[in-house]
Amino acid sequence: KECPPSSAVDIEVTVERGDDMKYGIRIDDQSKLDLQIYEIEEGAFQKYNESVEPDLQVTKSDYIVSVNGIEDNCEEMMQQFNTPKVTVKFKRALNFTVILDKSDTTKKLGIIVPKPMRNDCLAIMKIEDGLIKDYNDKCAQESDQILERDRIVSVKGRTGSAGHLKTKMDSMKGKFQVGMQRPHPGHLKSVPR
């Protein structure tokens, strides 16, 4: 029996915004290290989504890998959205959970986050001594670790603003679950237009 095709983990999309149309995506650039779709609104990307199968649609939490061939420079990638046509490479978010143990309530998390914190995830900019580093030191593989540029999306199954997530993590005691996101590993799939 043949397995059904898997969903694309990477897609490349070319869209044009008309004279009276916006692109219609809100982008989280709070870490200044990567860009992630925060919301899709009325506009060119919503129109694109209506024209393709669900596994090829641009979705909230997708990471932007490049815009018009520019990558690894968030500021320049964002400037490309001022042009009338963009070709964007997206990488799906990989969602995973970790269990942290904060038995020692005096131990700090040991993460540096953007200031001000915005949107509904907590971007990890740097990991220092603390709870997260201790967790990472116990992981057998790097893929099991919490990495710089990962995003915290829930604490004990609860979502909220970045500030709320940080406060919740700071106040936790004992073992607790943390929902995480990072760009999904995989190959790029170009979408014909």
Model confidence over 127-180: pLDDT tens digits? Answer: 999 999 999 999 999 889 999 989 999 999 999 999 999 999 999 999 999 999
pLDDT the model gives residue 33: 80
Closest CA to 157 of 180, 173, 132, 127: 180
pLDDT the model gives residue 30: 83
Query: pLDDT-derived band of residue 186, with 50, 70 and 90 as boundaries?
Result: low
- Give the whole-angstrom CA distance, residue 19 versus residue 65: 26
CA distances from 33 to 77, 105, 124, 133, 135 (A): 11, 30, 10, 20, 23
Contacts of 22 (CB under 8 A, 6+ apart): 41, 42, 43, 44
Annotate 9-69 with DSSP letters as a single string.
Answer: SEEEEEEE--TT----EEEE-TTSS-EEEEEE-SSHHHHHHHTS-GGGS--TTPEEEEETT
pLDDT the model gives residue 34: 86
Kindly report, residue by residue over 23-63, the tens digit of the pLDDT: 999 999 887 888 999 999 999 999 999 999 999 999 999 99
CA distances from 183 to 15, 30, 36, 105, 163 (A): 22, 16, 9, 31, 22
Dihedral of CA atoms 45, 13, 27, 57 in degrees, nearest 10, equals 60
* Number of alpha carbons in the 13 Å side-chain half-sphere of residue 162: 17
Q: What pTM was estimated for this model as a whole?
A: 0.84
Alpha helices in 52-191 (DSSP H): 74-79, 131-138, 162-171
Kindly report, residue by residue over 166-177, the tens digit of the pLDDT: 999 999 999 999
